[in-house]
Homo-oligomer: A and B are copies of this chain.
């Protein structure tokens, strides 16, 4: 994918939230960068301050913690989804998790200080603040759903919902990452999968 196509994907994604006229795009566009990462490369590591907010334009990433020497997968971002260790990005504190590519991945990024300049820019600031608000609200809803699922659903119900919403994507993710994401052991996930297969057979 060439840089122009990648940047245009970023524009399209921004325009899902706020329309941009040509002048506004010409303010935003020069501040964007394209980062190419190989499979299993880290976009973010513990101890770093997340300096970029990005949009995955190709590939996918996995968010995980390491606890007692074990990787605990917490989240994924796929094509046309934003990616950042938001807490670190927003609070300017070192992050405690990894964000690592699951495959060769292209990410269009905007750095923290440039984003603050955009928010304060009289030409585009009101619109960029709106964009920032709508993105934060969008992820708030995603997180709210995920958080509710931990207290209102059984692991089997969570897995079924994941099958419904992320069918194609699931095939690209190793099973033990999915088990982690659901908050269960790989053995429990195998049991759930066997049960579902029996029901649908």
Q: What is A's interface to B at a CB cutoff of 8 Å?
A: 65, 67, 72-74, 86-87, 90-91, 97, 119, 125-126, 129-130, 132-133, 136-137, 139-141, 143-148, 150-152, 180-181, 183
Contacts and interface: CB of A to CB of B under 8 A. Distances in A.
B144 A87 contact: yes
Contacts of A86: 137, 140-141, 144
Given A143-B143, A147-B147, A137 B74 contact: no
B140 A139 contact: yes
18 contacts: A67-B152, A72-B151, A72-B152, A73-B151, A74-B147, A74-B148, A86-B137, A87-B141, A87-B145, A90-B137, A90-B140, A91-B141, A129-B130, A129-B132, A133-B136, A143-B144, A143-B147, A151-B181
A65 B147 CA distance: 13
A156 to B, nearest CB: 14
9 shortest interchain CB distances as A-B pairs: A136-B136, A129-B129, A133-B133, A143-B143, A126-B126, A132-B133, A150-B150, A136-B137, A129-B130
Nearest to A125: B126
Contacts of A67: 152
Contacts of A151: 65, 72-74, 180-181, 183
Contacts of A183: 150-151
